[in-house]
């Protein structure tokens, strides 16, 4: 099963983060709208990512729910009919929830840097370093250095997936939702 090292953190200043990521990647990044439907499963996480253009990916992944760098093992299968696949998986497994986000993707070397605006949560970043090109020790060092260069502090780190954050968020009727 392929794997990568991931880090997820809150971003308090998305404009500054985007500027730093653009400088390091020497690009303005690529904007991708995504809708992730999470399904109930006995281990790991199973989600259907709909790119809202008629394409998508079914993604199964396992990773520890800890902050800081963590190893994620995953399997991905592309689909050209996300709505139909969603209907079948919803009937078979049940739906855990949905995450909608606008992702700005930057590539810094072999690292995917995501600046995400997550509906209902706000701004986050993710770093993903492919383990095919580095050793795990090298990846951990590189991601920690990259976090520092992007201005991400340890207190900003979060555990779990966006779906977990949404499900565990306090329900506040005064809370404003980030719209995409």
CATH number at residue 95: 2.40.320.10
Residue with tokens 């977990």: 164
pLDDT tens digits along 6-41:
899 999 999 999 999 999 999 999 999 999 999 999
Average pLDDT over the chain, rounded to whole?
Answer: 90
Q: Is the pLDDT of residue 151 over 60?
A: yes
Q: Is residue 59 part of a domain?
A: yes
d(CA 95, CA 141) in angstroms, rounded, equals: 37
Q: Is residue 176 part of a domain?
A: no
Tally of domains within the chain: 1
Domain that holds residue 80: 3-168
Does the predicted TM-score (pTM) go above 0.75? yes
Instruction: Give the C-alpha distances (Å, rounded to integers) separating 152 from 43, 97, 146.
Output: 30, 28, 9
Q: Is the pLDDT of residue 178 over 60?
A: no
pLDDT tens digits along 122-148:
999 999 987 765 555 566 677 788 999
Q: In this predicted structure, what is the pLDDT of residue 131?
A: 74
């Amino acid at each position: 099963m392929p794997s990568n090292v991931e880090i997820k953190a809150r971003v308090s200043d998305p404009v500054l983060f985007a500027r730093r990521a653009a400088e390091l990647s020497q690009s303005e990044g690529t904007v991708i709208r995504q809708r992730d439907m999470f399904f109930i499963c006995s281990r790991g996480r199973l989600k259907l990512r709909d790119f809202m253009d008629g394409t998508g990916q079914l993604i199964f992944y396992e990773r520890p729910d800890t902050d800081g760098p963590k190893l994620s093992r995953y399997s991905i299968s592309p689909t050209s009919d996300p709505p139909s696949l969603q209907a079948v998986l919803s009937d078979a497994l049940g739906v855990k929830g949905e995450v909608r986000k606008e992702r700005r993707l930057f590539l810094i070397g072999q690292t995917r840097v995501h600046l995400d605006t997550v509906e209902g949560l706000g701004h986050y970043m993710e770093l993903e370093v492919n383990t095919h090109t580095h050793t795990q020790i090298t990846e951990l060092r590189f991601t920690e250095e990259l976090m520092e260069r992007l201005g991400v502090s340890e207190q900003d780190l979060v555990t779990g997936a966006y779906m977990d954050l949404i499900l565990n968020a306090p329900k506040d009727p005064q809370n404003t939702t980030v719209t995409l």
